[in-house]
Amino acid sequence: MAHAENQTTISRSPEDVYAFLADGLKNPAWRSGVQAISLKSGAPGALGAVYSQTLTGPGGRPIDGDYEITATAPGRHLGFRVVAGPARPAGEYHLSPAPGGTNVRFILDLQPKGLAKLLGPLIQKTMEGEVAQLARLKAVLEAK
């Protein structure tokens, strides 16, 4: 299993951080690999909402990365799973109050299947790059 996680503290309330993360249309503001995103079905940020997402893949080529929101607890927890594309990890954001802001922990897990097992090191590196982008999330939210 591939696993990556990271955490940071953001000088914003848990409710503000959650609202930003739950609105997938804001992903390009802090996730560098997002080329395009739109709400495919459901209400923005709601349980079961599906976002159609195009990501920058190996060699810069576009790949699908659509995802569905699988868990919601405003101000505390947001879960999702990727439903399209070559790798389909599940992810979670755990939020908790911290002095002066919110502690954010971002976790990604993937159980590679088939040929994806051969790409384990590349998948691991990509997942580590994704969770490392919490630094960009912090910068974006604290600049508001």
All domains in the chain, ordered by first residue: 2-143 (3.30.530.20)
- State the pTM of this model: 0.92
Contact 91, 6 (CB under 8 A): no
Report the distance separating Cα 34 and Cα 50, nearest Å. 15
Q: State pLDDT tens for residues 62-84.
A: 999 999 999 999 999 999 999 99
Report the distance separating Cα 40 and Cα 119, nearest Å. 29
Report the distance separating Cα 25 and Cα 141, nearest Å. 15
- The whole-number average pLDDT for the span 2-21 is 97
Q: Given this model, what pLDDT does residue 115 score?
A: 63
Tokens, residue 10: 């953001």
Report the distance separating Cα 22 and Cα 105, nearest Å. 14
Q: State pLDDT tens for residues 100-144.
A: 999 999 999 998 776 666 666 778 888 999 999 999 999 999 997
User: Between 45 and 59, where is the model more confident?
Assistant: 45
